[in-house]
Amino acid sequence: MKYVFGSDIGGTTVKLGLFDESGELLDKWEIPTDKTDHGANIVGDVCESIKSKMEEKGIASADVIGVGVGAPGAVNEDGVMTGGAVNLGWPVFNLREAMEEKLGGIKVAAGNDANVAAFGEMVKGGGKGYKNVVAVTLGTGVGGGVIIGGKLITGATGAAGEIGHIKVDDVETEKCNCGHTGCLEQFASATGIARLARKRLAKDDKPSVLRSAELLDAKAVFDAVKAGDEVADEVAKEFGRYLGKGLAVVADVVNPEIFVIGGGVSKAGEVLLSYVEPEFKNTAFPPCSGSKFALATLGNDAGIYGCAGMVLSEN
């Protein structure tokens, strides 16, 4: 039996997984992310944790096909973090080579965390069975991963799939974290939906359960939608217009078979897709408007599944 490890490095924890050669998850665990000293210990900690697991399970290096790693920053084809990783304090360096050195020659595949999670959803999640998939993560921000012909697109500097920063509004004046205005992320992320809700409630006095919500977040909005609240419906429609429009552009460029929608916001379920899909179909160039929509199914495990998938697709 051969094995694969996945390691999804986040700002708080590193999620790790042990997989068999068919990509089935055998074990998963977490270690804290040590951000002291500009994150200088993280790579060593991850590799030590993998080596401990190998010892615990009696797995020899020769039986490890490879280790996949996802990190929160742009990663190019060679495994270089081309802009470092701001959240971890990392400078520009070759993540793949650094891990291979510490793992004594075990092969490593490295990718951007959102891209790797997208890959996980293709191999084992909502996009299973497809080879042309765009995964969309609606979390604090909006991330994405573009998979064409079964391969992740990284782009020139590892920044492909940054669909959260597609400009979808010309009149917005509030700034996005990236410094621009009108980015998809400002309307379709968890924080974006909350912002749309606040703005809508401030507009007039129309009654809504959202006015008494303890926490006016994306969950409150979609819960209210399900309860038939008209104001929440308006907010969801606005969210759907922006996301549908943004994804239409993505379809015009790469014409995927399916969009897989994940991230915290997607916990709203199928109702979310009902606001996005019609807007998408009305805006995409007609020959590009046939893409299917599905919800992501792997949740926080998408990253480790994608890490394993990357290794297995290269072998």
Q: Name the residues that contact a second copy, by CB under 8 A.
A: 74, 77, 82-83, 132, 146, 148-149, 151, 153-163, 165-167, 169-170, 178-180, 183, 245, 248-250, 252-257, 283-288, 290-291
For residue 263 the two structure tokens come to 């991230």
Whole-number minimum distance, CB 265 to a second copy, in Å?
20
For a second copy, the closer CB: 54 or 254: 254
Whole-number minimum distance, CB 72 to a second copy, in Å?
13
For a second copy, the closer CB: 217 or 257: 257
For a second copy, the closer CB: 19 or 280: 280
> Sign of dihedral through CA atoms 108, 109, 111, 114?
negative
For a second copy, the closer CB: 6 or 84: 84
All residues at 6 or more sequence positions from 274 whose CB lies less than 8 Å from its CB, including other chains: none
Whole-number minimum distance, CB 74 to a second copy, in Å?
6
State the Cα–Cα distance between residues 76 and 268, nearest whole angstrom.
Answer: 33
| Residue 167 burial (CB count, 10 A) | 15
For a second copy, the closer CB: 52 or 157: 157
State the Cα–Cα distance between residues 285 and 252, nearest whole angstrom.
Answer: 6
Whole-number minimum distance, CB 314 to a second copy, in Å?
13
Whole-number minimum distance, CB 178 to a second copy, in Å?
6
Whole-number minimum distance, CB 27 to a second copy, in Å?
34
For a second copy, the closer CB: 67 or 184: 184
Environment class of 49 (CB within 10 Å of its CB; exposed 0-12, middle 13-18, buried 19+): middle
For a second copy, the closer CB: 254 or 265: 254
Query: b vs e for 276-291, b when ≥16 Cβ sit within 10 Å of the residue's Cβ?
Result: bbebbbebbeeebeeb
Whole-number minimum distance, CB 242 to a second copy, in Å?
11
Longest dimension (CA), the chain: 67
Whole-number minimum distance, CB 269 to a second copy, in Å?
25
For a second copy, the closer CB: 216 or 258: 258
User: Phi then psi for 300, rounded to 5 degrees?
Assistant: -70, -10
